[in-house]
Amino acid sequence: MAEFAPARGAGHALTMVDRSLRLSARNVDAVLVSLVLPVMLMLVFVYFFGGAIDTGASHGDYVTYVAPGVLILCAGYGASMTAVSVTRDMAEGVIDRFRSLDVGGTAVLTGHVVASTVRNLAATAAVLAVALAIGFRPTADPARWLAALGVLLAYVVALAWLAAVVGLLAHSAEAAGGFTFFILFLPYPSSAFVPIDTMPGWLHGFAEHQPVTPVIESMRALLLDRPVGDALWPALAWSAGLTALALPLCALAFRRRTA
Amino acid sequence: MRGTTAVEAEGLRKSYGSVEVLRGIDLSVPRGGVFALLGPNGAGKTTTVRILATLAQADAGRAVVAGADVRRERSLVRRRISLTGQYASVDEMLTGAENLRLTARLAGHPRRAARRRADELLERFALGGAAGRRVATYSGGMRRRLDIAACLVGTPEVVFLDEPSTGLDPRSRQTLWDVVRELASGGVTVLLTTQYLEEADQLAGRLAVVDGGRVVAEGGPAELKARVGGRRLHLALRDADAYTRLVSALGPRAVHRDPEHRTVELATDGGAAHVRALLDEVDPTRGEVTRFEVRGATLDDVFLTLTGTPPTAPAHAAGSHREEPVRG
Ligand SMILES: Nc1ncnc2c1ncn2[C@@H]1O[C@H](COP(=O)(O)OP(=O)(O)OP(=O)(O)O)[C@@H](O)[C@H]1O
Ligand SMILES: [Mg+2]
């Protein structure tokens, strides 16, 4: 029993990742739902509104403009699913079993966050496949592709930890689902679907400085082989900052919830 | 080793809001063997177990479990105990086998050993055939068995089982009892709560009766039975009139009453002289008592005597009478 504590914690986290992945695989319907909506939105944007939206010549087709935004939207759906599953775990007896086995909150939540990230990567692949099929034509080389995915991944992980905090604070799945609203709303007042300069002036300040815009602008620039400019660092700083904020909040909320 | 007591609790108190649930629980559970916590619904058994298993914190009092303090050495306690709570704590969407393997790995087994341990336990609890099915498709008793099995994947020093046999059929209960006895004979301390007095009688070397958040009696089954009087004279009355008359004449001397079957019990030493005298006293006309029987006191008697007035049928119950204790 004289185990090295960090090794024990890491073992627990790995086992919890395994559990959360298995649970996700059993819940494919939910994953599909979280996928179908963004894809439908993409189709609506591209085919219904796309003709009316002028994003400027440099962006090419509207689908090329909007695809990164749809990926961000997907990340939002994924995160709200994560919040709900954390809430469920905390409400059910299973958390007592984990606690009585001395499994810490970090391990339990790491399981959720990793599974959330994996679900999101699958969703991203599916959305990209549809986007490519309807005319998305990024021009990036593999290195820039990876960089774009990296930027997205950092954002997805940050959202997942935030979702975990929300899941711990909420006492019902419905309450946790309310998180959806905020996270899903965030891409609209950003450059995700239309350029910011087409929005009313009072919105510019928020739209330019909220996290979604730099993430999207970085992805666009990377995928379309344009200079990344000054969007990349804010994007990474937002993701890192939100994660750094969420981690201690998670620990705190878990301790309060299980006190 | 860590002394001779597995669980030592002193003055545990706990309130939820303004409701005082535990009012100073003292317990001393010897190492090895089975200790049963008995008490009516709402007595505070689950709350006590959760505090001892570090899942809840007492407002006052202290407890040492498996040599570690539940408040200051929580992690240490957790590594030395295992718990099956009153309510299911398995993943519905995973299969029985997955649940046990997962738990075994969390308990520190490497992957292969975890698989082996899970298979053993599935066989043991007659879940081999359902091992590959999702728990969501299990019956209530199967779930309960899985829950108990999950508690046994590791090598705990103290095992807490909160109403382990609730919902089990007689055969499963027998398996549970065998497992509990094996654990105890292997030196593990088992602390269980139960509503089944027979279970406590069969398994427990010692028991505590909890009522209203306090321990109202503690001791061995024989000791407790002796405390409520050695034997009972069990009388069956001819009709409802005779029953009513006798009950009102005896008052609190009737240690047990059953209006439905028109039976009454009185304390006796079981000697012929005392029984004859009692019969003459309660039935001077020799027409009202149709049958009699001398019985040993059961844990039922202990339970009913210690946790309130003897139960009567609702029609006869006094207004202040509270929830009727569940009988095994
Ligand atoms: N989380 C809680 N919030 C409020 N009250 C609670 C809570 N947990 C328990 N109680 C109350 O504490 C009292 C004791 O509950 P407990 O579950 O410990 O009883 P028990 O002896 O296990 O009963 P049972 O035989 O029904 O399982 C009950 O009156 C219950 O309503
Ligand atoms: Mg209980």
The band of B228, judged by pLDDT with boundaries at 50, 70 and 90, is low
Helix axes A142-169, A173-185, angle to 10 degrees: 140
Residue whose structure tokens are 């909506």: A37
- Position A201 pLDDT exceeds 50: yes
Per DSSP bridges, beta strands B60-65 and B5-16 are: antiparallel
- Inspect the interface and report whether the beta carbons of A96 and B89 lie closer than 8 Å: yes
Tens of pLDDT, residues A18-29: 999 999 999 888
What mean pLDDT comes out for the span A131-150?
Answer: 91
Percent of chain B at pLDDT > 90 equals 65
Output the pLDDT for position B178.
93
Residues of B in contact with A12 (CB under 8 A): 106
Mutate to test the interface with A, among B80, B102, B144 (most CBs of A within 10 A): B102
DSSP state of B210: E
Conformation bin of residue B187: beta by default, left when phi > 0, alpha when psi is -120 to 50: left
- Position B264 pLDDT exceeds 70: yes
The band of A107, judged by pLDDT with boundaries at 50, 70 and 90, is very high
What mean pLDDT comes out for the span B143-168?
Answer: 93
Output the pLDDT for position A56.
67
B212 and B206 Cβ atoms separated by less than 8 Å: no
Tell me the two tokens of residue B173: 């209960």
| Interfacial B residues in 126-145 facing A (CB < 8 Å) | 134
Q: Which residue has the higher pLDDT, B95 or B217?
A: B95
What mean pLDDT comes out for the span B236-245?
Answer: 92
Is the minimum CB–CB distance between A1 and chain B shorter than 8 Å? yes
What mean pLDDT comes out for the span B156-180?
Answer: 93
Cα B43 to middle of ligand 1, angstroms? 7
Is the minimum CB–CB distance between A174 and chain B shorter than 8 Å? no
pTM score of the predicted model: 0.83
- Position A31 pLDDT exceeds 80: no
Per DSSP bridges, beta strands B206-211 and B33-38 are: parallel
The band of A113, judged by pLDDT with boundaries at 50, 70 and 90, is very high
Per DSSP bridges, beta strands B189-194 and B158-162 are: parallel
What mean pLDDT comes out for the span B150-163?
Answer: 94
Looking at the partner chain, which of B82, B98, B106 has a beta carbon nearest the beta carbon of A98? B106
Residues of A in contact with B54 (CB under 8 A): 99-100
DSSP state of B95: B
The band of A226, judged by pLDDT with boundaries at 50, 70 and 90, is confident
Q: Out of B70-84, B92-106, B110-124, B196-210, which region has the weakest mean confidence (pLDDT)?
A: B196-210
Q: Which ligand 1 atom sits nearest the alpha carbon of residue B40?
A: 25
Q: How many CB pairs under 8 A join A and B?
A: 66
ipTM of the complex: 0.86
Residue whose structure tokens are 């959360």: A20
What mean pLDDT comes out for the span B252-259?
Answer: 83
Beta-ladder partners of B7: B29, B65
- The alpha carbon of residue B85 is apart from the nearest alpha carbon of chain A, in Å, by 8
> How confident is the prediction for chain B on average, in pLDDT?
87
Cα B328 to middle of ligand 2, angstroms? 15
Alpha carbon nearest to ligand 1 atom 27, residue: B41
Residues of B in contact with A85 (CB under 8 A): none
Is the minimum CB–CB distance between B93 and chain A shorter than 8 Å? yes
Tens of pLDDT, residues B55-104: 999 999 999 999 999 999 999 999 999 999 988 899 999 999 999 999 99
The band of B174, judged by pLDDT with boundaries at 50, 70 and 90, is very high
Which stretches of B66-132 are DSSP H helices? 74-80, 96-106, 111-124
Residue whose structure tokens are 């958390």: A95
3 state SS for chain A: CCCCHHHHHHHHHHHHHHHHHHHHHHCHHHHHHHHHHHHHHHHHHHHHHHHHCCCCHHHCCHHHHHHHHHHHHHHHHHHHHHHHHHHHHHHCCHHHHHHHCCCCHHHHHHHHHHHHHHHHHHHHHHHHHHHHHCCCCCCCCHHHHHHHHHHHHHHHHHHHHHHHHHHHHCCCHHHHHHHHHHHHHCCCCCCCCCCHHHCCHHHHHHHHHCCHHHHHHHHHHHHCCCCCCCCHHHHHHHHHHHHHHHHHHHHHHHHHHCC
Residues of B in contact with A29 (CB under 8 A): none
Residues in the ligand 1 pocket, defined by CB under 6 Å: B 16, 19, 21, 39, 41-47, 86
Tell me the two tokens of residue B123: 């066989």
Is the minimum CB–CB distance between A96 and chain B shorter than 8 Å? yes
Residues of A in contact with B85 (CB under 8 A): 93, 96-97
Alpha carbon nearest to ligand 1 atom 30, residue: B42
Residue in chain B nearest A9 by alpha carbon: B106
Output the pLDDT for position A112.
96
The band of B160, judged by pLDDT with boundaries at 50, 70 and 90, is very high
Looking at the partner chain, which of B55, B79, B106 has a beta carbon nearest the beta carbon of A1? B79
Q: Collect residues with CB below 5 Å from ion ligand 2.
A: B 45-46, 86
Mutate to test the interface with A, among B91, B94, B99 (most CBs of A within 10 A): B91
Q: Which ligand 1 atom sits nearest the alpha carbon of residue B48?
A: 18
Is the minimum CB–CB distance between B298 and chain A shorter than 8 Å? no
Tens of pLDDT, residues B25-50: 999 999 999 999 998 888 999 999 99
Residue in chain A nearest B81 by alpha carbon: A100
Tens of pLDDT, residues A86-95: 999 998 889 9
Cα B159 to middle of ligand 2, angstroms? 16
d(CA B82, CA B155): 9
Residue in chain A nearest B83 by alpha carbon: A100
- Inspect the interface and report whether the beta carbons of A22 and B94 lie closer than 8 Å: yes
Output the pLDDT for position B328.
36
What mean pLDDT comes out for the span B286-301?
Answer: 83
- Position B327 pLDDT exceeds 80: no
Residue whose structure tokens are 């009092």: B61
Output the pLDDT for position A185.
86
- Inspect the interface and report whether the beta carbons of B103 and A92 lie closer than 8 Å: no
d(CA B294, CA B300): 16
Output the pLDDT for position A3.
53
Alpha carbon nearest to ligand 1 atom 12, residue: B21
- Inspect the interface and report whether the beta carbons of B57 and A26 lie closer than 8 Å: no
What mean pLDDT comes out for the span A195-202?
Answer: 86
Tell me the two tokens of residue B197: 């007095």
Cα B208 to middle of ligand 2, angstroms? 15
